[in-house]
Chain A
Amino acid sequence: MQIPVTHTTPLATIRRTRMLPEAGRILVRAGQKVAATEAVAESPGNRQHILVDVRRALGLRSTEEADRLILRKVGEVLEKGDVIAESKGLFTRLVRAPQESTLVAAVNGQVLLRVEGAPRPILAGLSAQVVEVIPEHGVILENCGALVQGMWGNERVDQGMLVSLSDRPQDELTTAALDISMRGAVLLGGICTSAETLRAAADMSLRGMILASMPAELVPAARALPFPLILVEGFGQAPMNQTAFKLLKSNERREVCLNAERMDPLSGTRPEIFIPLNSGAALAPETADLVPGKTVRIKTRPYQGHTGTVVKIHDQAVALNGGLRSQAVVLKLENQEQVTVPLKNIDLLE
Chain B
Amino acid sequence: MTTSIVDAESLLAIDIGSVNTRALLFDVADGEYRFIASAVAPTTLAAPLADVSEGAQSALEKLERVSGRRLVDKDYHLIIPAQVDGSGVDRMVITFSAGRELRVITAALLPDVSLESANRLAASTYGRVVEAIGLTDNRRPGQQVDAILRAGADLIILAGGTDQGATRSIMRLAEIISLACRVMPSDRVPQVLYAGNAALAQKLRDTLAWYQIKVHAAPNIRPDIDTEDLVPAQELLAQVVGKIRSRQLGGLGNLAAHAGQVPLPTSHALGRIIRFLSQIYDPVKGVLGVDLGASWTVMAAGVAGSLTQRVEAFGLGSGITQVLKQFSLEEISRWFSLNIPAGVVRDYLFQKTLTPESLPIDEESLQIELGAARQILRYVSQDLLESLPGVPLSFEPILVGGAALCQAPNPQTALLTLLDGLQPVGITTLILDPYGLTPALGAAAGVNTLLPVQVFESSAYLNLATVISPFSQARFGTPVLRAILEDETGARTTTEVKQGSLALLPLHHGQVGKVYLEPLRGSVIDPRRKQVRSFKITGGILGVVIDARGRPLTLPADAGRRRELLAKWAASLNPAKVVR
Contacts and interface: CB of A to CB of B under 8 A. Distances in A.
Interface of A: 4, 22-23, 46-51, 104-105, 107-108, 110, 112-114, 151-152, 215-217, 219, 234-237, 263, 265-268, 286-287, 299-302, 304, 320-326, 341-342, 344-345
Contacts of A300: 351-352, 355, 358, 360-361, 365
A109 to B, nearest CB: 11
A46 B143 CA distance: 12
A76 to B, nearest CB: 14
Contacts of A237: 347
Contacts of B178: 107
Contacts of B362: 301-302, 321-322
A48 B149 CA distance: 9
A342 B179 CA distance: 51
B182 A216 contact: no
7 contacts: A105-B183, A107-B178, A286-B47, A300-B365, A321-B361, A323-B410, A341-B361
B185 A22 contact: yes
Interface size bucket, B side?
A: 35 or more
B146 interface: yes
A151 B354 CA distance: 7
A297 B364 CA distance: 21
A105 B460 CA distance: 59
B46 A152 contact: no
Interface string B348-392: 111110111111111111100000000000000000000000000
Nearest to B355: A299
B46 A216 contact: no
A49 B146 contact: yes
Given A304-B351, A322-B361, A344-B357, A217 B185 contact: no
Given A216-B347, A217-B343, A235-B347, A112 B361 contact: no
Contact of B347 (A51, A113, A236, A325): A236
Contacts of A23: 185
Contacts of B141: 51
The 10 closest A-B pairs by CB, nearest first: A323-B409, A268-B47, A216-B350, A286-B48, A51-B141, A236-B347, A265-B46, A235-B350, A50-B142, A51-B142
A287 to B, nearest CB: 6
B47 A344 contact: no
Nearest to B366: A322
Contacts of A267: 47
B64 to A, nearest CB: 14
A332 B355 CA distance: 22
A342 B357 CA distance: 10
B284 interface: no
B208 to A, nearest CB: 12
Interface string B40-57: 001001111110000000
A233 to B, nearest CB: 9
B197 to A, nearest CB: 20
Nearest to B152: A21
A322 B407 contact: no
B480 to A, nearest CB: 32
A50 B150 CA distance: 15
Contact of A216 (B49, B146, B183, B346): B346
A342 B141 CA distance: 54
Contacts of A342: 358-359, 361
B100 interface: yes
A286 B47 CA distance: 9
Contacts of A48: 142-143, 146
A320 B413 CA distance: 15
Contacts of A320: 359, 361
Contacts of A326: 359
